């Protein structure tokens, strides 16, 4: 490593520590949503295969969860596999299913899950997922169901529009069967029909890779979420980038339309 790089690393570390001290002086987001974009772009720029990019992305997620707990965030929801991702090359889709499955199985062997009492939930439409992955999802959710200190949600086979449509269908069915009256329908009731009705709205949504859109992620829940877009690809995200997102959130005034 050159002297210039060493000096840069030292300066970055000092800035990182100073930013962390500032962050600890104010409220952090309770719930952070993350759109982990840029795995394939990272791989292309690094001369790797797309699948290798996804593996690097999985490794980065483990780092970011540690950072989130360090600053005091209590809930993280990650866009793991969207409903649109089913349209990708079947070989890549199958690789992603295997990677997600192995990652979830790995959580059950990770001491941090039990030490930090992390409850893991998966949100989405499971109909298009392979049976082995659905079984793994059920196992992980069952084993971590009693944990309360930190909530880690992964959106798999998820689409925000489809979640709303599914909720509308289920409400309509309950109206037809006379379990509900039309006048009973309001925002509070509607939330009960979402994939996870215990999920609080994200305070902040972070998206990487420079794209500035939410891509069908938590459409109902993100009505008043603050948005932060980072130019770096997901596997390249550094702790300093993450802290900048949190600091930016703290500098905003949330008015909720008032």
Q: Which residues are catalytic?
A: 37, 85
**Is 74 one of the annotated binding-site residues?**
no
**Is 95 one of the annotated binding-site residues?**
no
SS3 for 226?
strand
**Is 72 one of the annotated binding-site residues?**
no
**Is 92 one of the annotated binding-site residues?**
no
- In this structure, the number of other CB atoms found within 10 A of the CB of residue 151 comes to 23
User: Which residue in this structure is represented by tokens 């499971």?
Assistant: 126
| CA atoms of 196 and 237, how far apart (whole Å) | 28
**Is 37 one of the annotated binding-site residues?**
yes
Compute the 3-state secondary structure of the chain and give helix, strand, coil in percent, each to the nearest 5: 55, 15, 35
Q: Are 164 and 131 in contact (CB under 8 A)?
A: no
- Under DSSP, the state recorded for 30 is S
**Is 83 one of the annotated binding-site residues?**
yes
**Is 39 one of the annotated binding-site residues?**
yes
**Is 41 one of the annotated binding-site residues?**
yes
Which of 210-219 are b and which e, b meaning 16 or more Cβ less than 10 Å from the residue's Cβ?
eeeebebbbe
Specify binding-site residues for Mg(2+): 37, 226
Specify binding-site residues for substrate: 38-41, 54, 82-84, 86, 88, 207, 213-215
Specify binding-site residues: 37-41, 54, 82-84, 86, 88, 207, 213-215, 226
């Amino acid at each position: 490593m050159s002297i210039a790089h060493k000096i840069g690393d030292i300066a970055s570390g000092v800035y990182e520590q100073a930013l962390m001290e500032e962050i600890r002086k104010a409220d952090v987001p309770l719930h952070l949503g993350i759109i982990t974009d840029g795995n394939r772009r990272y791989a292309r720029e690094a001369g790797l295969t797309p699948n290798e990019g996804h593996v690097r992305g999985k490794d980065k997620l483990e780092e970011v969860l540690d950072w989130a707990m360090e600053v005091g965030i209590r809930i993280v929801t990650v866009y793991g596999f969207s409903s649109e991702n089913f349209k990708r090359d079947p070989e890549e889709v199958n690789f992603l299913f295997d990677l997600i499955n192995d990652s979830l199985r790995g959580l059950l062997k990770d001491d941090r899950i039990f030490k930090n009492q992390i409850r893991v939930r998966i949100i989405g439409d499971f109909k298009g997922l392979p049976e082995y992955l659905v079984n793994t999802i059920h196992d992980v959710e069952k084993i971590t169901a009693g944990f309360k200190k930190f909530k880690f949600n992964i959106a798999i086979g998820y689409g925000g529009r489809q979640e709303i449509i599914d909720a509308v269908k289920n409400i309509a069915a309950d109206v037809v069967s006379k379990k509900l009256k039309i006048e009973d329908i309001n925002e509070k009731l509607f939330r009960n029909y979402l994939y996870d009705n215990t999920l609080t709205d994200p305070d902040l949504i972070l998206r990487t890779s420079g794209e500035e859109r939410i891509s069908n992620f938590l459409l109902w829940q993100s009505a008043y979420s603050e948005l932060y877009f980072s130019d770096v690809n997901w596997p390249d995200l550094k702790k300093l980038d993450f802290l900048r997102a949190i600091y930016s959130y703290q500098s905003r005034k949330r008015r909720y339309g008032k």
